[in-house]
Amino acid sequence: MSTIANEQTNTPATPKPERVSSPGRLALRRALRHTGFWVGGVILAVILIAVLGAPLFTGSDPALQDLSHRLAPPVWHATGDWSHPLGTDHLGRDYLALLLYGGRISLLIGFLTIVLSSLIGVTLGVAAGYCGGTVDLVVNFILTVRLTLPVVLVALVAVAVLGQSLPLLVLVIGGLMWDRLVIVTRATTQQLARRDFITAARSIGSSMPRIFLRELLPNITAPLIVVCTLELARAILLESTLTFLGLGVQPPLTSWGLMVAEAKSQFLFRPWLIAIPGLSLALLILSINLLGDALRDVTAPDGKA
Amino acid sequence: MGMFIVKRLGVTALVLLVTSMISFSLIHLAGDPAVAMAGERATPEQIETIRRLYGFDRPFHEQYLHWVGNVLEGNLGRSNYLKEEVAPILARHLPVTAQLGVLALAFALFVSIPLGVIAALRPNSLIDRAALVIAVTGQSMPSFLSSIALIFGFGVMLRWLPISGTGSFAHYILPAIALGYYASPAIMRLTRSGMIEVLQSDHVRTARAYGLSAWQMIVRHGLRHAIIPVVSVATVQFGYMLGGSVVVEAVFSMDGIGNLAWLSIRRYDVEVIQAILLIVAATYALLALAADLLNAVLDPRIRV
Amino acid sequence: MELLLEVRGLRISIPTDGGVLHPVRGVDLSVGRGETLAVVGESGCGKSLTAQAILGLLPRNARLEAERIAFDGMSLLGLGNRQWRQIRGRRIAMIFQDPMTAFDPCYRMGDQIAEIVRWHRPRNATPARMTEMLAKVGISAPDERLGQYPHQLSGGLRQRMMIATALLCEPDLIIADEPTTALDVTIQAQILRLLADLQAETAVGLMLITHDLGVVAGIADRIAVMYGGEVVETGSKAAILDDPRHPYTKGLLDCIPTPGETGRRSALGFIPGVVPRPLGALTACNFRDRCARAMPACHRGTVPLMPMEDGRLVRCRLYDPPGAVPVREPQKTLRNAEGVA
């Protein structure tokens, strides 16, 4: 039955490479052979350069409204021209400028959110994994409660009730998205806490913060980076969803989710108005997801390259 | 086993209590609900009336206990905006979301389990890689975008399917795909990794060494095992779908729980929001419980 | 004796990042009808892969070459799925090393055994026949056991179940891959006795793969000792156990404690070093680095399997009589039998 193969059965172990290289070096070497790493990395780099270097690529002010040039078509359209390469929106704003500056907001919210949620997640996860016992039970309970709360609904309610500002949006999304970080940090810490070097540090009387900073943190960074990357994608996705529903980023600021929402009514006759920010958003999330998957593969100890 | 269920039920009840406390305080402590409910042009007297009517002037814990008492008696309150009891409103909207969720889950399972199995049978093959691409794309597509894309493709360009409302079964197809597509990558990946592992296990080797058929090996002795974690994840995903249906229902103008929640949030219809949060959380918690029990049924080693 | 299984020139290679491994380098084996052959060697000598190759169960990345693998006069090379399903279980049944994991934990024992037996011997798949067979392999309260799940049974019981399953399929040959290794010592002896008795009773051919040259191989008619992917000595049980010729066979026997002996001879022997990695082609005797009696000739060229005066075959320069003819020259033209797995 050739459809099933026991790839590992009785296969002698592969010979050890002559030179033993450090985990980081090994991961880098694996990464350079990883298709997902390249594809994700290149797309993300292009987006980052375009968005962060926005003034280099467009001379227009994204906030400038010009009602005499409303809904101009993009340059590939028969009536488009280079003064507005991607056309203009329903308020006559330059769509390219909106896209580039709007991307900044999406990325900014994403990054700030991850900082917040990893603070919460790592604290809870390390506490649960390291202390065990009652602390573990309590953290587990908090986690269960968090998982029981429907993210989109609670975020919508929170934003609706607490008001709609950028810091608040970060607070709400970050305050809701730490679940996977806890799960991963807890599991990794649990494994580590049983290892000898932690026991040794404990036995010579190292303090908890010291053990955390010197022994635990360096050893959980690899899985943490992987989860943070994947969570960054989820955070941007959630931000765009809230914004699309009208309870996230508010004008005059703009983000890609808001651009899609504002173009919704135009989508029959001017589909590019949705396609441009929509594709950018999907590509951004896709590239981060690809990168996260690649990082997971290359940092895996069993070396699935 | 009996002890296990009792314990799990206890935890579930406790989780729901804390969950409801959080959502209740979120709504009541954040601002003055009376002001928001009364609207912008309300006079101070009108606000005061609302405050007294809904008991917002009483201490917070009293309000909460009052609400919990009512809920336990089956009284979910009265909608301020719709001027109607909450329970019948929910009863009207729930079937739409339930139907949507079941169809979406069915779609997700129907696509991702076969795909995961095929990918696992030929790891690193073209099919495996294609399945992986589909999975990553699915994770990366916000559901409002996939909804719009589906509407544009199948509703507007091809004119195959209706794009808004809940009139017939056909109305549910596109929303179910949009909602299920987001859930399928997790299920696919889990099926794939589970299958790869189980196909290397000794009991599949036994089946092969004794000349059993491909079906017996892959399905009876393979998928049967790989499906166990999938059941829990799918159950949990179903819970997520109820919350995630907000977007899809909004785009496809379906009057389910999700759309009702969205509208109620914008109308600041406190009692309705609260009831929906409670129901979605309770559904999720019960589904998680059901997943644990299903696991015990599927894996004889867990049974006691 | 009628020839049941014949393996000639079996080679297995596995390409890896670090080069091509050759865990099996040209093995010849045969089992007669109703005969017991013990294949003995340390772990990594290629004995288990040889067994898997016979049933076409090699891992997918392994490449198989052989001049001939024939069962009951029919070649097993290049069989299709459909043909394999007629052979596996029905003609050649396998008993595995680890009875703890060999059964599917999700199904009751009775259902699992019936699933296999129904395909090969439907008339044996009845509860009555199954109960009868379970009793025969020494399982008490067989009715009850059939309704239990694998995890509710002990390792010894599960191995008896495995043996019962194999026998219910009424095969001509049973390949038992380290059938007692995973079991407690007392259970090991019981299972071994059971296998020996059943073999004698049913006249089924038995290929017993083991690392235990003493006790386990003791139930065999013939013994083949493998080292580094080659057969280094093969002959009758008496010849091998009472008068081993190859230094490796002697070493293996010295590792076995002999009760009742005193003095220096009672000291347990050991073979220095470890099995060499099967990397690349052989250019000399594979055992030379661990051999106490290695001599210059051992480093010059591969060693052929030579017949001795008593009919046994030995692969060692010590027994190079001037002008002797090796059993067979190393074959250059090998039939590539990829796709067997």
| H-assigned helices in C212-324 | 237-242, 247-254
C49 interfacial to chain B (CB closer than 8 Å): no
304 residues of chain B, pLDDT tens digit each: 677 788 888 888 888 888 888 888 877 766 666 776 666 677 778 777 877 777 777 777 888 888 888 888 878 777 777 778 888 888 888 889 989 999 999 999 999 999 999 999 888 888 888 888 888 888 788 888 888 888 888 877 787 777 777 777 778 888 999 888 888 888 898 999 899 989 888 899 899 889 888 888 888 888 888 888 888 888 878 877 877 788 888 888 888 888 898 888 888 888 888 888 888 888 888 888 888 888 888 887 766 4
Mean pLDDT of A44-62: 81
* Alpha carbons B74 and A158: distance in angstroms, whole number: 26
C221 vs C39, C193, C241, CA distance in Å?
A: 11, 14, 11
> Where do runs of H (alpha helix) occur along chain C?
47-54, 81-87, 99-102, 109-120, 127-136, 142-146, 155-168, 185-202, 237-242, 247-254
Helix (H) or strand (E) holding A184: helix A179-193
User: Mean pLDDT across chain A, nearest whole number?
Assistant: 79
**Containing domain of residue A167, as a range?**
105-253+289-299
Q: Please indicate whether, in this complex, the C-beta atoms of C21 and A10 are within 8 angstroms of each other.
A: no
Give the residue from chain B lying closest to C118, CA to CA.
B212
Burial class (CB in 10 A: 0-12, 13-18, 19+), A214: exposed
The predicted pLDDT at position C285 comes to 85
Q: Residue A157 is encoded by which pair of tokens?
A: 């309610």
Task: Tell whether the model's pLDDT for residue A13 goes beyond 60.
Answer: no
Is C224 in a helix, a strand, or coil? strand
Q: Do A289 and B140 touch (CB under 8 A)?
A: yes
Chain A, nearest residue to C55 by Cα = A1
Q: Which residues of A74-106 are buried (b: 16+ CB within 10 A; e: fewer)?
A: beeeeebeeebbbbbbebbbbbbbbbbbbbbbb
CA distance B255 to B252: 9
In angstroms, rounded to a whole number, what is the distance separating the alpha carbons of residues B65 and B72? 10
Chains A, B: CB contacts under 8 A, how many? 145
Question: pTM of this prediction?
Answer: 0.80
Give the number of other Cβ atoms within 10 Å of residue A45's Cβ.
11
Instruction: Please tell me the distance from the alpha carbon of residue C163 to that of residue A285, in angstroms, as a whole number.
Output: 55
What is the residue whose two structure tokens read 């979605």?
B280
pLDDT of residue C113: 92
Q: How many domains does chain A have?
A: 1
Is C39 in CB contact (< 8 Å) with chain B? no
Chain B positions touching A282 (Cβ under 8 A) are 137, 140-142, 145
Inter-chain CB proximity C149 and B301 less than 8 Å: yes
Higher pLDDT, residue C332 or A269: A269
Contacts of C289 (CB under 8 A, 6+ apart): C273, C276
Whether C330 shows a pLDDT value over 50: the answer reads no
Residue of A10, A19, A26, A304 to mutate, testing the C interface (most C Cβ within 10 Å of its Cβ): A10
What does DSSP assign to residue C219? Answer: G
Taking an 8 Å cut-off on Cβ atoms, the answer to whether C14 and A5 are in contact is: no
Domain B96-258 classification at class level: mainly alpha
Q: Spell out the residues 6+ positions from residue C301 whose beta carbon is closer than 8 angstroms to its own.
A: C283, C284
What would the two tokens of residue A221 be? 């960074």
Chain C neighbours, 3+ Cβ pairs < 8 A: A, B
C-alpha C68/C-alpha C334 separation (Å) is 9
How long a stretch of residues is chain B? 304
Pseudo-torsion of CA A60, A63, A64, A67, nearest 10°?
Answer: 120
Chain C contact present for A14, CB below 8 A: yes
SS3 for C15? Answer: strand
Rounded mean pLDDT, C182-211: 87
Distance from CA of B292 to the nearest CA of C (A): 17
Residue A162 lies in a domain: yes
Residue C66 structure tokens: 């052989």
> With an 8 Å Cβ cutoff, are A6 and C44 in contact?
no
**R_g of chain B computed on alpha carbons:** 23
Sorting pLDDT into bands at 50, 70 and 90, what band is C257? low
Q: What is the ipTM of this complex?
A: 0.84
Say how far apart CA B39 and CA B269 lie, in whole Å: 11
Q: How far apart are CA C136 and CA B133, in angstroms?
A: 55
Q: Is the pLDDT of residue C337 over 70?
A: no
Among A87-96, A222-231, A279-288, whose mean pLDDT is lowest?
Answer: A87-96
Between CA B274 and CA B281 the distance in angstroms is 11
Tell me, yes or no, if C169 comes closer than 8 A to chain B by beta carbon.
Answer: yes
For the segment C241-259, the average pLDDT, to the nearest whole number, is 81
Q: How confident is the model at residue C331 (pLDDT cuts 50, 70, 90)?
A: very low
Which of B203, B209, B214 faces C57 most closely, judged by CB atoms?
Answer: B209
A10 touches chain C (CB under 8 A): yes
Task: Output the pLDDT for position C341.
Answer: 33
Contact check, Cβ <8 Å, A2/C21: no
Which residues in chain C are contacts of B203 at CB distance < 8 A? Answer: 101-105
Mutation choice for A interface testing from C21, C55, C275 by most A CBs within 10 A:
C21
- Its sign, for the CA torsion C181, C182, C186, C192, is negative
How many CA atoms within 13 Å lie on the side-chain side of A22? Answer: 2
Residue C29, burial from CB neighbour count under 10 angstroms (0-12, 13-18, 19+): buried
**Touching partners of B (3+ C-beta pairs < 8 Å):** A, C
C138-154 average pLDDT score: 90
What chains are in contact with A, requiring at least 3 Cβ pairs below 8 Å?
A: B, C
pLDDT of residue C258: 61
Q: Residue C31's pLDDT is what?
A: 92
Residue for token digits 């089946």?
Answer: B207
Mean pLDDT, chain C, integer: 83
Domain ranges of chain B: 96-258
Please determine, for residue A132, whether its predicted confidence score (pLDDT) is greater than 90. Answer: no
Q: What is the 3-state secondary structure (H, E, C) of chain B?
A: CHHHHHHHHHHHHHHHHHHHHHHHHHHHHHCCHHHHHHCCCCCHHHHHHHHHHHCCCCCHHHHHHHHHHHHHCCCCCEECCCCEEHHHHHHHHHHHHHHHHHHHHHHHHHHHHHHHHHHHHCCCCHHHHHHHHHHHHHHHCCHHHHHHHHHHHHHHHCCCCCCCCCCCCHHHHHHHHHHHHHHHHHHHHHHHHHHHHHHCCHHHHHHHHCCCCHHHHHHHHHHHHHHHHHHHHHHHHHHHHHHHHHHHHHHCCCCCHHHHHHHHHHHCCHHHHHHHHHHHHHHHHHHHHHHHHHHHHHCCCCCC
> Which chain A residues contact residue B121 at CB under 8 A?
3-4
Q: What is the mean pLDDT of residues C106-127?
A: 90
pLDDT tier for residue C7 given thresholds of 50, 70 and 90: very high
Pairing state of beta strands C205-210 and C173-177? parallel
For residue C314, what are the contacts with CB-CB under 8 A and spacing of at least 6? C232, C233, C245, C246, C305, C306, C308
- Smallest Cβ–Cβ distance between A144 and the set B15, B22, B239 belongs to B15
C148 interaction partners in chain B (CB closer than 8 Å): none
Q: What is the CA radius of gyration of chain A?
A: 24
